Amino acid sequence: ALEDGLEAWLRYAPLPAENVKHPRFSQIVALSESKSSPVYTAGKEIQDGLNKILRQKVDITNTLPEAAQIPASAIVVGTVDTFPSATPAIQTIQECSSLKEDGFWLGAQKDGNDGPAHVLIVGENERGALYGAFKFLMLLAQDKPCPETYISSPSAPIRWVNQWDNLDGTIERGYAGPSIFFKDGAVLDDLTRVAQFARLMASVRLNGIIVNNVNSHCNLLNPTNLKGLGRIADVMRPWGVRIGVALYFDTPIELGGLSTSDPLDPNVVSFWNDITTQLYEKVPDMLGYLIKANSEGQPGPLTYGRTLADGANLFARALKPHGDGIVMYRAFVYNHHLDESNWKNDRANAAVEFFEGLDDVFEDNVLVQIKYGPIDFQIREPPSPLLAHLRRTQVIIEFQVAQEYLGQQSHLVYLPPLWKTILDFDLRIDGQQSLVRDVVSGERFNWKRSGYAAVVNVGNDSTWLGSHLAMSNLYAYGRYCWDPTSDERAVIEDWTRLTFSHHPTVVDTVTQLSMESWPTYENYSGNLGIQTLCDIVKTCHYGPSPAAMDGNGWGQWTRADAHAIGMDRTTATGTGYSGQYPSEVAKIFENPETTPDELLLWFHHVRYTRRLKSGKTVIQHFYDAHYDGAQNAQTFPVRWEALRGLIDDHRFEHTLFRLTYQAGHALVWRDSICNFYLAKCGIPDEHHRVGSY
Ligand code: GCW
C-alpha cells in the first residue's frame, strides 16, 4: 500500500486529475528482450509508472516496428549500441559520445505536429538506460516537464551500499527488523524484498551492494550459501545492481580445515583461489571482496606476521583471473586497547600509520575503503587524513546512512549537510586544490575506479529503516554519489514531493525540519568537535553518556577533567595527528586560534573558560547549545502537526510518534550533558538553567 512505506520515494502517486494535461503515450519500446536486462526492467517500470501517475495503460514492445522510425508519441528506451543509428533523432543521440559509464541521455521531442512528444532514453549502457527511465518517471511524478535534452553522467563509477547483515538474520546496527537477505544461517528463500530494495537503489543510481556484515562468518561460503548468493545476484541484476561479499579472514581455518590462514601459505592461496572460482560460477558479475581485518578483534594478515598489503593482495590475485573484481580493503584498522594514560596515543592516527608505505605495494585491483572521518561516523569529524596520503591506490569513501551515532533513525538527522563538510573540504594536497569529492571521484589523481560506499541498514520492516523520514538519507546518498555538488535543500524537496506530497506546506515543513535536524542533534549531543557523547562502553552507541568516552581503550576520548577538555592533537604538544594533513591544512589545525570552533575540541585540549570566536566560553557554549538544540527539537512534533490531513494518517502518526519521542529524548540529552559538565568543572550556567532544580 502507498501508506506503509515499502514504495518509499517510488510511490508514483497519481497526479491530481486537473493536472493531468498529458496526452496519451502510444507505446513503450524497450530495446531488449532479455528479462535480466535493466533495459527490459526500464520498460516495465515506465509502464507501471504511467499507469499509476497518469492512469495510462500503455503496451510494451521490445523492438521498433521499422528500423529507422520512432513511432509517434512513443517512449523508447535502449542503449547507445542498441538504438537504431538511422533514427531522425540521430544528431541528438550522438551527443551520447560524452556519456560516462552508467550515464544517459533523455529527451522529449515533438513529432512535428500537435501530437504529444516522443521520449527517447538512451543509456551509455543498460544500467544508464534504466537510470534515464527513472529520471523520466521522477520528473513526471513531480509534475515537472521532461526536458528536450538532458544529459547526465556519474561523478564516480563506484556507488555502493554495504549492508551489515549477519547470517542468523540479525543486522549489526540495524533498527528495522530482521535481514531481508539471511535467516538461520542461510540465504532466505523468498527474496521479494531484495528485488524491491534493488529497485530503490537503481532509482537513485546505486549500482552495487555488499550483502553481508564486515564482521563476516566463514559459513557465508558454504555450498548452500554460495548458491544463495547466486540467487541474490540474479534477483538484483535486472536492476543493474551487482553484488559483492565481505569475507572472514580465518575462513581457511574455520571452513577449510587448514591449520593456518597465513596469506602467504600456498594452501591458503589455493583455498581462496578455489572459493573465488566457485563464487564466480554462481555470481559471474561479482563486484569483489570487502575485507575488515585486524580490526576490533577480527583476525587479519598481522595475526600471521604479514603486512596488510600481503592480506589484500591475496584476495586481489584470487579475483584477477575472473574479471573486474576488486578488493575493498577497509582502513578501519586500529588498536582498541589503547592506553589512555599516554597523551601521545591517538586512535585517529591509526589509519595513516597502518597504511603508510603501502601505496605502491597493493595490487592494482585493491581499493582502500576509508570512513569519512578518522574515528567512527561521529556527529562532527574532519575528513580522514588518509585521503591525502594515497596516490596510486584508489579509494572508496565510507559514509553511514545507518545513523549509528546519530540517533539511530529514532531521531531525525538529515545527513547531506554533514556529508558536505567532508566532500567540500579542500585537503590542499601538494599545495593544490584537492576537494575530497575530487579525490573520491578519481579526478584529482586520474583514477579509473573509485567512489562511494555507505553502510545501510534496511531491514524487513515496511518502512525499511524503521522511520519514514530516515529514508531521505538513503535517497540523498544515491544523489550525492552521482553528483556530490548537489544542493541539499533541492534534494530533500524532491524526496518530499516523491515520498509524501507536492503540497507546499508538506514540502516546506519536511524541508525545514530536515535542514535543521543535523545542527539540532549536534547541539544536544556533542559540541565543538567533542564527538557524539553517547554510550560507547555498552557499545550501544545510543543515548547520552559523556562519562563513557574516557577510561577505556576505545580511544574516543574527551580527556575532560575539572579544568579542561578536548584532545591535544597538535604536533607541538599533542598526538601529532594534525601533522598528518598536508601542510597548509595542518597549519590551520595546529593552532587553536585558526581552528574553526566546531572542531576546536577535536584538535585542542583547552580550559572550559577559553573564549570561542563567538565570544562565549567553551562551557557556556555547551550549556547554550544544549538548551537551543533541545528547545528546537520540541518544535519538531508541533510543526509536524501542520501535515495532519495533508498526508495519509498512517505515515503521519508513525512520524509524529518518532518526533515526539525525539523531543523527549533531546531533554534527556540536554540535562545529562549539562549536569555532567557542571559537576566536572563547577562553573555555573550564566542563565541559571543547569542544576537549578
Ligand atoms: O562503528 C563501529 C561499529 C561496529 C562496526 C564497526 C565497523 C561492523 O560500532 O558495529 O562493526 O564500526 O565499521 O567495522
The three state secondary structure string of 609-640 is CCECCCCCEHHHHHHHHHHHHHHHHHHHHHHH
> Which neighbouring-strand residues pair with 187?
182
Q: Rounded to whole angstroms, how far apart are CA atoms 168 and 139?
A: 40
- Long-range contacts made by residues 648-656, C-beta under 8 angstroms, separation at least 24? 648/2, 648/3, 649/3, 650/3, 650/4, 651/3, 651/5, 651/468, 651/500, 654/463, 654/467, 654/468, 655/467, 655/468, 655/469
113 vs 517, residue with greater confidence: 517
Asked whether 652 lines ligand 1 (CB < 6 A), one says: no
Average pLDDT on 262-289 reads 98
Helix axes of 488-499 and 126-141: crossing angle, nearest 10 degrees? 70
Site to probe by mutation for ligand 1, drawn from 296, 537, 554 as the one with most ligand atoms within 8 Å of Cβ, is 296
Asked whether 173 lines ligand 1 (CB < 6 A), one says: yes
Summarised one tens digit per residue, pLDDT across range 359-380 is 999 999 999 999 999 999 999 9
Is residue 693, in this structure, part of any structural domain at all? no
The rounded Å distance from CA 437 to ligand 1 centre is 24
Average pLDDT on 230-256 reads 98
Provide the pLDDT for residue 98: 82
Provide the pLDDT for residue 538: 81
Lowest mean pLDDT among 52-61, 84-93, 148-157, 249-258: 84-93
Residue 465 and residue 385 share a domain: yes
Asked whether 354 lines ligand 1 (CB < 6 A), one says: no
Q: Rounded to whole angstroms, how far apart are CA atoms 124 and 128?
A: 6
Q: What percent of the chain has pLDDT over 70?
A: 96
Q: Ligand 1, atom 1: nearest CA belongs to which residue? A: 376
Asked whether 214 lines ligand 1 (CB < 6 A), one says: yes
Check: CB of residue 140 under 8 Å from CB of residue 46. Answer: no
Beta strand pairing status for 242-247 and 288-291? Answer: parallel
348 three-class SS:
helix
Residue 193 and residue 46 share a domain: no
Summarised one tens digit per residue, pLDDT across range 643-662 is 999 999 999 999 999 999 99
Is residue 425, in this structure, part of any structural domain at all? yes
Site to probe by mutation for ligand 1, drawn from 163, 164, 166, 542 as the one with most ligand atoms within 8 Å of Cβ, is 164
Asked whether 215 lines ligand 1 (CB < 6 A), one says: yes
Asked whether 404 lines ligand 1 (CB < 6 A), one says: yes
Residue 237 and residue 99 share a domain: no
Residue 95 and residue 187 share a domain: no
Average pLDDT on 198-219 reads 98
Average pLDDT on 526-540 reads 92
Burial of 538 (0-12, 13-18, 19+ CB in 10 A): exposed
Describe the strand order of the beta sheet including 27-30 as a list of residue ranges. Answer: 60-61, 27-30, 74-79, 118-123, 104-109, 150-152
Q: What angle do CA 102, 491, 509 make, to 5 degrees?
A: 160
Residue 275 and residue 138 share a domain: no
Is residue 192, in this structure, part of any structural domain at all? yes
pLDDT beyond 60 at 357: yes
Is residue 574, in this structure, part of any structural domain at all? no
Domain extent at residue 482: 158-486
Check: CB of residue 175 under 8 Å from CB of residue 409. Answer: yes
Domain at 75, CATH number? 3.30.379.10
pLDDT beyond 60 at 463: yes
Asked whether 405 lines ligand 1 (CB < 6 A), one says: no
Q: Rg for the chain (alpha carbons), in Å? A: 26
Q: How confident is the model at residue 600 (pLDDT cuts 50, 70, 90)?
A: very high
pLDDT beyond 80 at 219: yes
Average pLDDT on 285-313 reads 97
pLDDT beyond 90 at 19: no
pLDDT beyond 90 at 87: no
Site to probe by mutation for ligand 1, drawn from 404, 408, 540 as the one with most ligand atoms within 8 Å of Cβ, is 404
Provide the pLDDT for residue 32: 94
The rounded Å distance from CA 375 to ligand 1 centre is 11
209 three-class SS:
strand
CA 324 from chain centre, in angstroms, equals 23
Burial of 476 (0-12, 13-18, 19+ CB in 10 A): buried
Q: How confident is the model at residue 301 (pLDDT cuts 50, 70, 90)?
A: very high
Residue 183 and residue 127 share a domain: no
Of the listed 102, 310, 404, 438, which one is catalytic?
404
Index of the ligand 1 atom closest to the CA of residue 213:
8
pLDDT beyond 90 at 109: no
Q: What are the φ/ψ torsions at residue 341 (nearest 5 degrees)? A: -70, -15
Polymer length of the chain? 693
pLDDT beyond 80 at 116: no
Q: Which three cell numbers stand for residue 503?
A: 503540497
Residue 222 and residue 105 share a domain: no
Residue 71 and residue 208 share a domain: no
Site to probe by mutation for ligand 1, drawn from 249, 376, 531, 539 as the one with most ligand atoms within 8 Å of Cβ, is 376
| Number of independent structural domains in the chain | 3
Index of the ligand 1 atom closest to the CA of residue 541:
9
pLDDT beyond 70 at 89: no
Is residue 581, in this structure, part of any structural domain at all? no
218 three-class SS:
helix
Q: Ligand 1, atom 14: nearest CA belongs to which residue? A: 214
pLDDT beyond 60 at 693: no
The rounded Å distance from CA 42 to ligand 1 centre is 36
Lowest mean pLDDT among 57-71, 154-168, 233-247, 275-289: 57-71
384 three-class SS:
coil
Q: Rounded to whole angstroms, how far apart are CA atoms 74 and 439?
A: 41
Q: How confident is the model at residue 92 (pLDDT cuts 50, 70, 90)?
A: low
The rounded Å distance from CA 311 to ligand 1 centre is 20
The rounded Å distance from CA 458 to ligand 1 centre is 16
The rounded Å distance from CA 251 to ligand 1 centre is 20
pLDDT beyond 70 at 20: no
Check: CB of residue 252 under 8 Å from CB of residue 272. Answer: yes
- Which of 111, 135, 152 corresponds to the end of one domain? 152
Asked whether 164 lines ligand 1 (CB < 6 A), one says: yes
Of the listed 102, 126, 310, 376, which one is catalytic?
376
Summarised one tens digit per residue, pLDDT across range 444-461 is 999 999 999 999 999 999
Q: How confident is the model at residue 91 (pLDDT cuts 50, 70, 90)?
A: low
The rounded Å distance from CA 455 to ligand 1 centre is 10
Residue 296: active-site member: yes
- Which of 104, 129, 152 corresponds to the end of one domain? 152
The rounded Å distance from CA 433 to ligand 1 centre is 32
Asked whether 462 lines ligand 1 (CB < 6 A), one says: no
- Which of 152, 183, 217 corresponds to the end of one domain? 152
Residue 404: active-site member: yes
Summarised one tens digit per residue, pLDDT across range 499-527 is 999 999 999 999 999 999 999 999 999 99
What one-letter code names the amino acid at 456?
A: V
Domain at 614, CATH number? 3.90.1330.10
Cα dihedral sign for 182, 185, 186, 190? Answer: negative
Is residue 584, in this structure, part of any structural domain at all? no
Domain at 422, CATH number? 3.20.20.80
Summarised one tens digit per residue, pLDDT across range 377-433 is 999 999 999 999 999 999 999 999 999 999 999 999 999 999 999 999 999 999 999
Provide the pLDDT for residue 327: 98
pLDDT beyond 60 at 90: no
Check: CB of residue 536 under 8 Å from CB of residue 549. Answer: yes
Index of the ligand 1 atom closest to the CA of residue 539:
9
Index of the ligand 1 atom closest to the CA of residue 214:
8
Residue 211 and residue 68 share a domain: no
Index of the ligand 1 atom closest to the CA of residue 173:
10
Is residue 261, in this structure, part of any structural domain at all? yes
Residue 163 and residue 146 share a domain: no
Index of the ligand 1 atom closest to the CA of residue 292:
14
The rounded Å distance from CA 398 to ligand 1 centre is 12
Q: Rounded to whole angstroms, how far apart are CA atoms 424 and 480?
A: 12
Lowest mean pLDDT among 40-44, 88-92, 472-476, 532-536: 88-92
Index of the ligand 1 atom closest to the CA of residue 405:
1
The rounded Å distance from CA 6 to ligand 1 centre is 27
Asked whether 376 lines ligand 1 (CB < 6 A), one says: yes
Helix axes of 504-525 and 618-640: crossing angle, nearest 10 degrees? 150
Is residue 171, in this structure, part of any structural domain at all? yes
Asked whether 437 lines ligand 1 (CB < 6 A), one says: no
Residue 613 and residue 469 share a domain: no
Q: Ligand 1, atom 11: nearest CA belongs to which residue? A: 215
Q: Which three cell numbers stand for residue 452?
A: 562511494
Index of the ligand 1 atom closest to the CA of residue 164:
8
Average pLDDT on 601-618 reads 97
Provide the pLDDT for residue 67: 66
Check: CB of residue 328 under 8 Å from CB of residue 162. Answer: no
Residue 480 and residue 358 share a domain: yes
The rounded Å distance from CA 404 to ligand 1 centre is 9
CB neighbour burial string for 89-109, b if at least 16 within 10 angstroms, e if fewer: beebbeebeebeebbbbbbbb
